[in-house]
Amino acid sequence: MTDSDGTIPGEPDPEITLSWIRDYPGLVAYAPLPPSGRYPRDSRGRPRPRSARLRTAEPSEAPRRPDGLLSDSDWSWVIRSEHSWAGVSSRLGTDALRIMLELAEAGCVTIGYTLNGNALAQPPRRVYPHPDLTAAEQDRRSRRRDDTTTLRTRAEQIASEIADDWPDASRALRNTEHPNRLLWALRAATDLAEGRTHDSLRAFVQSHANDTKARDDVHHLLAAMGFDHETLIALGVARNPYIGLGGPILLHTTDGSVLDLSAMPGPHDIRLSPRMLPRVTVTGPGDVLLVVENRQAAEAVCDARADLPVVWCHGQPPDAVVSMIVQAVQQTSRVVICADADLGGVRITARIHDNLPSDTTIHIVDVGTVLHDEGRPFNSHSRSRLQQLAQRPDEVGAFAQRCLHRGYALEQEASARAALQAVLNSNLSG
């Protein structure tokens, strides 16, 4: 026995195709069955669906990801679960509808709507990824979690093995959270543990990724994670470091030559070899030495105050650079350190500070004390490391505390120049 609408009582309704909706070529509109298997009815007992979806005209074909439509992260986000249209619009912006229609035509998603009479009410309500894609993404994420757990376990093992010989690399392994960064740290630490060295940065990358350009910034990456420059040299991924010198400084090379750096505006890039380290003589009044991280700020000081010795050092200074700074400091009455107001800058400041003679008068410039634009907020790793440094009972600790109080990084050329100028005007005039 059948109802007046042709359906069989107690049996699920057949799916209704909304054939009159033809606004989207390559897509078909249909009314999804409710969980009960029966559509709502009108007063005459006829099916009256209240929602609709758009799907590919060939639903039996396997979904295919369109080339170049979405980044890997956006693709993973789309297929991992269903999303409200508000969430889709927030993620993909004004291109959201175009992207979703293309994904629907490729069989990757269906787009849900409310039915307004016989038309699709705009905007869409939800997006539903193909269940096969969702299952594959969940499986990928599960494997990645397992791989990350294995990676962290191995990192802890290697960290324990190298703690005595390579404490910086050991700490980097234990403090690095991001799986991709941790993988490169583990590769480097494993090479150190096994006494393996490389002929160059590209040779290191090639040995681990079979592609010399897979990560051509890995030496910067390892340094940012806390690997000392000497460790990177031992690994074979770091070239000899550079130091920038400007102002009234004589450079004495190991062959007996003497270069007067005050003859031209600095800072002048000097490539240092730990085996052939030059000496420096400060020939000016000797009142103060400026140590600056920002290159443009160092140049501005050299232009404005040619009577002041200036050292430029970018990034965590290796032993050779620190040694040169100490040489210069021993010939002046005080030192001014100006680094970026972020975790890297506090670390640079701490390394220089801790290697200076105990009787050195040190002034630390905080570039956040002058007018500036807010930088990127600190992530959890930076906040954690800054909190540790803020426990120090000295100027470095106070610097870290001020950075934490602001909550964001400052590495702006204009701010560095202004902060240094303020120090020059207030403390170093004359």
Kindly report, residue by residue over 77-93, the tens digit of the pLDDT. Answer: 999 999 999 999 999 99
Please report the pLDDT score of residue 157 as a whole number: 92
Residues 98 and 185 in one domain: no
> Quick one: 356 and 285 in the same domain?
yes
Q: List pLDDT tens digits, range 166-212.
A: 889 999 999 988 888 999 999 999 998 887 878 778 888 888 887 65
Domain count, the chain: 3
Any domain includes 136:
no
Task: Report, as an integer, the average pLDDT of 388-404.
Answer: 95
User: Mean of the per-residue pLDDT values for the chain?
Assistant: 88
Say whether both 304 and 420 belong to one domain: yes
Q: How confident is the model over 295-327, as pLDDT tens digits?
A: 899 999 999 899 999 999 877 787 888 999 999
Look at residue 12 in the predicted model and tell me its pLDDT.
84
Cα separation of 347 and 386, whole Å?
A: 9
Give the DSSP per-residue string, 113-138.
EEEETTEEEEEEEEEEE-HHHHHHHH
The secondary structure element, H or E, covering residue 250 is strand 249-252
Give the model's pLDDT for residue 430: 43
* C-alpha to C-alpha distance for 140 and 424, rounded to whole angstroms: 57
Q: Can you give the CATH number for the domain in which 414 is found?
A: 3.40.1360.10
Range(s) of the domain holding residue 195: 151-235
Position 27 in a domain? yes
Token pair belonging to 300: 């501005």
**pLDDT at residue 28 tops 70:** yes
The whole-model pTM stands at 0.54
Shared domain for 221 and 285, answered yes or no, is: no
Whether residues 221 and 307 share a domain: the answer is no
Nearest to 171 by CA among 228, 111, 252, 122: 228
pLDDT for res 429: 47
- Sort strands 334-339 and 289-292 into parallel, antiparallel or unpaired: parallel
- Distance (Å, whole) CA 250 – CA 261: 6
Inform me whether the pLDDT recorded for 387 exceeds 90. Answer: yes
Mean pLDDT for the stretch of residues 335-364: 92
Predicted pLDDT of residue 196: 82
Residue 301 maps to a domain:
yes
Residues 39 and 175 in one domain: no
Of 310, 308, 372, residue with least CA distance to 340: 372
Domain end (from 217, 235, 253): 235
Indicate whether 74 pLDDT > 90.
yes
Domain boundary among 203, 235, 267: 235
Higher pLDDT, 267 or 200: 267
Residues β-bridged to residue 53: 30, 112
Is the predicted pLDDT of residue 126 greater than 90, yes or no?
Answer: yes
Within-domain flag for 6: no
User: Do 332 and 294 share a structural domain?
Assistant: yes
Percent of the chain with pLDDT over 70: 94
| DSSP H or E run through 251 | strand 249-252
